[in-house]
Chain A
Amino acid sequence: SQTIHQWPATLVQPVGSPLSLECTVEGTSNPNLYWYRQAAGRGLQLLFYSVGIGQISSEVPQNLSASRPQDRQFILSSKKLLLSDSGFYLCAWSDAYEQYFGPGTRLTVT
């Protein structure tokens, strides 16, 4: 069966520090991969999605970037965090129909 992992589960970082969040998927190949941010426990904001290695589409101009170095690995990065980057970050993958979510990373920028 398919499994999606995210780490770390929680992270507290100072303003101006770098960020790297990792997401990996097991049990499937060539998945579509997504990064979302959720603020204040409400709506999801799509940040990036990828249909293949090295193929990244950005949905919202911002302080973040994404990379997909391997088929089942998706990384969210920032060179310098802002206070507004705080939130709950969710990775997801999809097949032909459904989307499946990871457990999320709670990022607090102080």
Chain B
Amino acid sequence: AQSVAQPEDQVNVAEGNPLTVKCTYSVSGNPYLFWYVQYPNRGLQFLLKYITGDNLVKGSYGFEAEFNKSQTSFHLKKPSALVSDSALYFCAVRDLNYGQNFVFGPGTRLSVLP
């Protein structure tokens, strides 16, 4: 079965500092991995994805994530956090061997302090 873990409910970082939001996953086949961001009372917005190829994936708003197959991780990173990055972040995995569903992590709330 597929599963996604986001071990931190909350991440606090000072503006200008680097940020990391952690994600680990479990699938039986090759994973498609995603990061989404959600602002209050809004739908989820796509940030980036890993399908195949380079393990370092660059996405929207200066975010990037690194696929690590041996550690089954896909951590989200940004070199310099902005107050406007404060939001709820979701990691998701899709294993096409198991149909059309996406499995989402529980979410991590990021607060960037001015």
Interface of B is mostly: strand
Chain B proximity mask over A74-110: 1 for CB below 8 Å, otherwise 0: 0000000000000010101010011111111010000
Determine whether the beta carbon of B43 is less than 8 Å from that of A99: no
What number of B residues sit within 8 Å (CB to CB) of A?
A: 23
Q: Are B43 and A103 in contact, CB atoms less than 8 angstroms apart? A: yes
Known A-B contacts A41-B88, A49-B101, A51-B100; the reply to A97 vs B43 at CB < 8 A is no
Residue of chain A at shortest CB distance from B105 = A43
A46 close to B (CB within 8 Å): yes
Are the CB atoms of B34 and A90 closer together than 8 Å? no
- Cβ B106 vs Cβ A98 within 8 A: no
Q: Which residues does B use to contact A, with CB under 8 Å?
A: 32, 34, 36, 40-46, 49, 51, 88, 90, 92, 94, 100-102, 104-107
